[in-house]
Amino acid sequence: MKTYEEKIADIKNLRLIDDVFFEAFAANKKAVREILRVILEDDDLEVLEVVTQGDEHNIYGRSVRLDALCTLGNGAKCNIEVQRSDNDDHARRARYNGSMITVNESEPGIAFKDVTNVLIVYISETDIFKGGKTIYHIEKRLKETGALFDDGFDEVFVNTAVNDGSRIADLMSCFTKKELNDEQFPETTAEVQRLKTTEGGLSAMCEVMERYMTEARAEGRAEGRAEGRAEGEATGLVKGEARLSALIQKLIEAHRYDDIAKATSDKVERERLYKEFGL
């Protein structure tokens, strides 16, 4: 078990691109609004609500992990996702999360014209499309006529890897810094500094990190029960908890809190991490 001082040291090393830090950050609606206004180039955009993974009223469950689900002023749902790894099909991940939001945020039996509009803002550490651009807008068109096709689902992919000299690129550079002091983005700067330097902010971060650990332990017990069906409940439970506990400890030592989240919510990713660490 890490001491409070050790946890504080870990928090100092976290950045906005780390989803454990972004989750705590996203509780600040003004800071989230500032980020969306820059990325979407809309100074009038409003954010009415932000639901993060830790919120009790996030009913989606562990099958889909949403970093920050926003309700915009026009009623649309916008999911902001931060992603460091580059070993996934990002486009299909975004589509999957978008479909889950559509289903969960639309009342059964409503007319399809009233189905919730969904926007995915996907922030990655790598240029996943390898086009040398900071931002990519997905646009649907009718092949035969070239006319735009609007089905109420939009996607914007942004990355921290490419600096094209734009204000969006300046914002993306903020996602890679352990310390932030940028006058262009006062709300973002203020919230990052609060989480890293004030008692209230550090306490909020510790709570998020502890919840990640609690989820990891629960996942270990669940995994152990599954193994126990084959070799005896007690034996399987102990092995499952011990194996995942060992993985989590290695991830903590490597400051890989993003991977802790993946280990608790994604079985395929968990198996990959087991192999990586020889567990």
**Amino acid occupying residue 248:** I
> Helix 4-13 vs helix 186-197: angle between axes, to the nearest 10 degrees?
160
Whether 124 contacts 18, CB under 8 Å: no
Q: How confident is the model at residue 110 (pLDDT cuts 50, 70, 90)?
A: confident
73-102: pLDDT as tens digits: 999 999 999 988 777 788 998 998 899 899
Q: List the one residue out of 250, 207, 264, 258 whose CA is nearest residue 7.
A: 207
Across 20-24, 94-98, 134-138, 267-271, the highest mean pLDDT is recorded for: 134-138
Query: Tokens 């009223």 correspond to what residue?
Result: 57
Residues 6+ away with beta carbon under 8 Å from 47: 29, 32, 33, 36, 70, 71, 72, 73
Model confidence over 133-170: pLDDT tens digits? 999 999 999 999 999 999 999 999 999 999 999 999 99
CA distance 167 to 175: 13
Dump the DSSP string for 69-113: EEEETTS-EEEEEEE---SS-HHHHHHHHHHHHHHHHS-TT--GG
**What is the per-residue pLDDT across 174-230, written as a single tens digit (0 to 9) for each?**
999 999 999 999 999 999 999 999 999 998 888 888 777 777 667 666 666 665 555
